[in-house]
């Protein structure tokens, strides 16, 4: 089955509101009309309102980098799914390795966020991936399986086409070290197998599995050409329009 490629930029804690709008205007100019490839930008919370406005007449969609699962209330510093929807947010990154490692997010918490996202018409981008020590210890697939099953335990097959999984080996994030296309494909195929076990083959074929970790204009072609790599979650290379648009172009050529 043909899954539409999805290229998402995770800006992390970069770009104030004015810088965000400047970047998004360049992206709209270069890639804001095409619809062969899904394109998503995930700016910091403080830029969501202005980025949303700047994207209004384009095909580029917006994602958030995190959220809390509750509707509203005494949760100082948190952002609700409804607040994101109000700003026309379409996607939300959940369980990024930086949230797991620095902020102590567990699979149980991430699972609640995934459920809340879907209930509020937000498409979750569930991030999974092993550390270097886990890979060297031969634990890659068991770690990824725990994260996939843990994050999606309360999601039904009916929602499969709205779920995105991002495989981001922690050792490849921001390090310049990329998994080879073959290494990445091996894990992506295994994730597809886990989703098949969870939801059945038809639903599993609908899920887009993105690769993340030092993906850039130079290595995107080879990664995106792999059978089970359906797009990218791009950090550093999404902070400049030139490199991000080149990755979008790689996906378009393969579409
Ligand atoms: P880099 O592309 O900077 O390695 O970051 C990847 C990432 O963490 C995207 O979520």
- Sorted by where each begins, the domain ranges of the chain are 6-254
pLDDT score recorded for residue 2 = 80
Class of domain 6-254: alpha beta
> What is the C-alpha separation between 174 and 176, in angstroms, rounded?
6
- Measured between its terminal Cα atoms, the distance across the chain in Å is 12
Tokens of 187: 């894990």
- Ligand 1 pocket test target in 6, 10, 218 with most atoms within 8 Å of CB: 10
Residue 98 near ligand 1, beta carbon < 6 Å: no
Max Cα-Cα span within the chain: 49
Residue 232 near ligand 1, beta carbon < 6 Å: no
pLDDT score recorded for residue 189 = 98
Residues acting as catalytic residues: 96, 168
Q: Which residue has the tokens 């994260």?
A: 147
Collapsing DSSP to helix, strand or coil, 42 comes out as strand
Select from 24, 11, 27 the least CA-distant residue to 239: 11
pLDDT score recorded for residue 65 = 98
> What is the C-alpha separation between 10 and 242, in angstroms, rounded?
15
pLDDT score recorded for residue 1 = 55
CB of 172 closer than 8 Å to CB of 181: no
Question: pLDDT 10s digit of each residue in the chain, 255 long?
Answer: 589 999 999 999 999 999 999 999 999 999 999 999 999 999 999 999 999 999 999 999 999 999 999 999 999 999 999 999 999 999 999 999 999 999 999 999 999 999 999 999 999 999 999 999 999 999 999 999 999 999 999 999 999 999 999 999 999 999 988 899 999 999 999 999 999 999 999 999 999 999 999 999 999 999 999 999 999 999 999 999 999 999 999 999 999
The phi and psi torsions of 18 (rounded to 5 degrees) equal: -70, -40
What is residue 113's DSSP assignment?
A: H
- How is 142-211 classified by DSSP, letter by letter? HHHHHHHHHHHTT--GGGGGG-EEEE--GGGTTTS----HHHHHHHHHHHHHHHHHHH-HHHHHH-EEEE
Instruction: Write out the H or E segment, with its range, that includes residue 127.
Output: strand 123-128
Tokens of 39: 């394109």
Tokens of 94: 């959940």
Q: How far is the CA of 73 from the centre of ligand 1 (A)?
A: 32
Q: Is the pTM of this model over 0.85?
A: yes
> What is the C-alpha separation between 125 and 104, in angstroms, rounded?
18
R_g (Cα) of the chain, nearest Å: 17
For residue 20, give Cα distances in angstroms to 50, 129, 130, 201: 8, 28, 30, 40
> What is the C-alpha separation between 238 and 60, in angstroms, rounded?
14
- Ligand 1 pocket test target in 184, 235, 243 with most atoms within 8 Å of CB: 235
């Amino acid at each position: 089955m043909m899954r539409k490629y999805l290229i998402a930029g995770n800006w992390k804690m970069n770009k104030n509101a004015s810088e965000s709008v400047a970047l998004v205007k360049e992206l709209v100019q270069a890639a804001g009309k095409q619809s062969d490839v899904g394109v998503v930008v995930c700016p910091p919370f403080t830029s969501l309102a202005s980025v949303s406005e700047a994207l209004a007449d384009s095909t580029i969609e917006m994602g958030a980098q995190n959220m809390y699962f509750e509707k509203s209330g005494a949760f100082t510093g948190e952002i609700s799914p409804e607040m994101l929807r109000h700003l026309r947010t379409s996607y939300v990154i959940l369980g990024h390795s930086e949230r797991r490692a620095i902020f102590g997010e567990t699979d149980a918490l991430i699972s609640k966020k995934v459920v809340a996202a879907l209930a509020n018409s937000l498409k979750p981008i569930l991030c999974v991936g092993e550390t270097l020590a886990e890979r060297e210890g031969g634990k890659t697939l068991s770690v990824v399986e725990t994260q996939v099953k843990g994050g999606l335990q309360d999601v039904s097959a009916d929602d499969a086409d709205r779920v995105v999984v991002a495989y981001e080996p922690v050792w490849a994030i921001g390090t310049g070290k990329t998994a080879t296309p073959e290494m990445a494909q091996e894990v992506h195929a295994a994730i597809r197998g886990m989703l098949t076990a969870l939801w059945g083959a038809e639903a599993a074929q609908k899920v887009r599995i993105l690769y993340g970790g030092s993906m850039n204009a130079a290595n995107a072609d080879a990664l995106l050409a792999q059978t089970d790599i359906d797009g990218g979650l791009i950090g550093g290379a999404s902070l400049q329009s030139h490199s991000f648009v080149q990755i979008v172009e790689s996906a378009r050529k393969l579409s």
